[in-house]
Chain A
């Protein structure tokens, strides 16, 4: 079959089989749910909780069989949980960082520990999910054994386009939130497209060039499916995200408050790994790696990898460059095995 024939065949096939690692929904609240992946053997060590970004679907961490970080962790014998933030409804326009961090993420951490029969969990936050885990970890370090901040923005004042756009004086974030409630996914998608306006054309040329390569086509269609499957940003959280984090750079200045308490990065004392990517045009390296300069942890590592914000996480080579390193990091910091496994039945199949 010719290259164009293969492309056409994939278009006709419809949605690629993303998020295939078997798992069960073990907890639900409002729109979010907690998924526990079925272990292939009895898992060892502390449970791992994966926290994706609020505005992207979580299956980027479980893209396709063979290209799945979740699948890798399960095969490596970890007890893996992941948050699915779901799709916020119009009524969720009032949800802010307090709800997402203190209530939902806090509950996810406690449920993960409870279900795995452990006192503490290993956390991993990806992109904005990394910012959320950092906020939570600074306020409630007692439940956390270690943390991986995967391309997580911490310093928001940088030379990147997102930082410059959000600091534009004439852009009234309040007017946007008042008009829409939740910021529409189309608007977020358009702004991501504008970060690299020629990217789609480059992708098209790459698609034609590598159209004979089945493996490339599988990854291409799965990644594009994910890339266009955004969810709205809850209005209350978006307002603080832009006004305080981007404009005020409040997190790094110690001026970001949750439930009236300032978030102090120095409160983080457990082992922490910050992962950055060389060609990340969404979260520049300096914006993410500064976390390690501000926390009090003795065991802290910086892993800087080639690749972009998404590509470096879903590529097959990530098995050697990223996934194995994260698994190794967790193994180094497993304090002790879980006491028991909860017999609680799952709410539903994921």
Chain B
């Protein structure tokens, strides 16, 4: 009984495996063909140039809206996002300069 059940499972498993193998072969062929086709499209100026224009336009709209928000924010006497970025950047630069000096001092001490 056990033996026949094993055989049955093996036969069923075999069928499943064959089914999977057939599917896998088909999938691999489809994937290869689709990847090649998509790569051709993604290299084509007919796709890239409008995509580039669209991306650039969206970026310009975002920049303009951010600037408008910053003007409004600044008019209220508050620091804008860009002001805060510049300040933090300056602080980081200062930290780096101090580390530069520390390194120079260390080199002098060792020599």
Q: Chain A interface (Cβ within 8 Å of chain B)? A: 29-30, 89-94, 99, 103, 107, 110, 114, 161, 164-165, 168-172, 175-176, 178-181, 194, 196-198, 201-202, 205, 209
Number of A-B contacts (CB under 8 A): 93
Which residues of A have CB within 8 Å of B53? 170
CB of B56 within 8 A of CB of A175, answer yes
- Flag if B63 contacts A179 (CB, 8 Å): yes
Give the distance in Å from the alpha carbon of A99 to the alpha carbon of B96 in the complex.
10
| Residue of B whose beta carbon sits closest to that of A159 | B43
Inter-subunit contact B27/A205 (CB<8 Å): yes
Flag if B52 contacts A161 (CB, 8 Å). no
Known: A29-B96, A176-B55, A179-B60. A169 touches B20 (CB 8 A): no
Chain B residue, CB-CB nearest to A164: B43
Given A29-B95, A197-B34, 14 extra CB contacts under 8 A? A91-B84, A99-B96, A114-B106, A161-B42, A164-B43, A165-B48, A168-B51, A170-B52, A170-B56, A171-B48, A175-B63, A179-B60, A197-B38, A198-B35
Query: What is the bound-complex CA distance between A107 and B43, given in angstroms?
Result: 40
Task: Provide the bound-state CA to CA distance between A196 and B36, in Å.
Answer: 9
CA distance A176 to B63 in the complex (A): 9
Q: Does B22 contact A (CB under 8 A)?
A: no
Contact between B59 and A175, CB atoms less than 8 A apart? yes
A156-B85 Cα distance, complex, nearest whole Å: 31
* Contact status A107-B59, CB under 8 Å: no
Q: Considering the complex of A and B, which 10 residue pairs feature the smallest CB-CB distances, nearest first?
A: A170-B52, A91-B88, A171-B52, A179-B59, A175-B59, A172-B56, A179-B62, A168-B52, A91-B85, A170-B53
Residues of chain A within 8 A (CB-CB) of B95 are 29-30
A168 to B39, CA, bound (A): 15
Query: Is B6 in contact with chain A by the CB < 8 A criterion?
Result: no
Residues in A whose Cβ lies below 8 Å from that of B43: 161, 164
Closest to A103 in B: B96
Partner of A171, one of B34, B55, B60, B106: B55
- How far, in angstroms, from A210 to B45 measured CA to CA in the complex? 39
Name the B residues within 8 Å of A196 (CB-CB).
35
